[in-house]
Amino acid sequence: MNQKIGDKNLFYLLLFLAMVAWGGSWVNVKVLSGYIDAFEMIFFRFGITAITMIPLIWKMGYSFKIDKKSLGLAFLVAVILILYNRYYFLGTKLGTASLGGAMVTTLIPILTFVILAILGVRRVGVREGIALCLGAVGVLTMLHVWRFDWEKIAVIHNLYFLLAAILWALLTILSAKSTRVSPLVFTFYLYGITTILDGLFWVELGTISWERLDAIFWLNIALISLAASTFANTIYFLGIEKLGAAEVSSFVFFVPFSAILLSAIFLGEEIDLFIVLGTILTLGAVKILNNIRLFRRKHA
């Protein structure tokens, strides 16, 4: 019994570190934007991640076989992933990592619900309506809407963040259609296809200023590829298998706050109290929409 509790506590720690890595990816992108463009970042990040996932999938005993439907879906989702990363990159480059990490990560589950509601998959009742209003107030709080200055609210990086959130919501819905293969295996093909498409159509390796890619660049590439992608995704999917989706989902609440805190520490960004307040409000909306229980009763 004590061994099981110890293993579970270790997994909680690993999940927490995975969420911190996801939040830290916004800091990594901000740093990388001073070296390369969005498509080059996509090529490096997902190329390295796909390669490092091969031994993990083999070690965990998963099969690399994938059916035609899932493979075709991976191609479609790869295009959306490239577009998401482009706007995620541009928004972070022009704006702040703290706002992007807070706004996009909290908007994604809300927009996913809205899209599913429009498609008739989810029902919008009184509770859901209250949650959506709470989420809208949260996002407007992050944007300091009371300034009544449309030029500041509708700046290009805020629009990029909104587009990124919409694209990831679509990616989430489409990825869920692949049920015949392990999510980890599907993600491997998704990242591999993303790297190939990006390399074929948008990246010219000969134009990269390789001499400018110093230790800071490679450190951030390693963190965003190995920590935020390979490690975090593997732990997240393992967590769903071992603990269940409901329990693992509560850990996602650490992502926006880690993005805000790490942006303040490593980028010197001021911690905007209204971004923090808006994040709390939107996370409250996410909790209501997905019926997430942050604290569970302990059964005797």
Torsion of Cα atoms, 81 then 87 then 89 then 92, to 10°: -140
Predicted pLDDT at 300 = 37
Q: Residue 176, Cα to own-chain centre: how many angstroms?
A: 15
Mean pLDDT across the stretch 152-175? 91
Mean pLDDT across the stretch 155-171? 94
Rounded CA separation 38/29 (Å): 9
**Cβ neighbours of residue 282 closer than 8 Å, sequence gap 6 or more:** 106, 107, 110, 134, 135, 138, 139, 142
DSSP-derived letter for residue 145 is G
Mean pLDDT across the stretch 207-230? 95
Looking at this protein, which amino acid is placed at residue 105?
A: T
Predicted pLDDT at 76 = 96
- Per-residue model confidence as pLDDT tens digits over 72-122: 999 999 999 999 999 999 999 999 999 999 999 999 999 999 999 999 888
Q: Confirm if 87 and 158 have CB atoms less than 8 A apart.
A: no
Q: Confirm if 107 and 139 have CB atoms less than 8 A apart.
A: yes
DSSP-derived letter for residue 33 is T
Q: Confirm if 173 and 115 have CB atoms less than 8 A apart.
A: yes
- Per-residue model confidence as pLDDT tens digits over 234-282: 998 888 777 776 677 778 889 999 999 999 999 999 999 999 999 999 9
Express the helix, strand and coil content of the chain in percent, nearest 5 each: 80, 0, 20
Rounded CA separation 102/104 (Å): 6
Alpha helix stretches (DSSP H) within 61-214: 68-94, 97-118, 126-142, 150-153, 156-175, 183-201
In 3D space, the residue among 208, 170, 171, 165 whose CA is nearest the CA of residue 190 turns out to be 171
Instruction: Specify the length of the chain in residues.
Output: 300
In 3D space, the residue among 278, 242, 69, 1 whose CA is nearest the CA of residue 158 turns out to be 278
* pLDDT grade for 163, boundaries at 50, 70 and 90: very high
Rounded CA separation 103/165 (Å): 8
- Per-residue model confidence as pLDDT tens digits over 1-54: 444 555 678 888 999 999 999 999 999 999 999 999 999 999 999 999 999 999
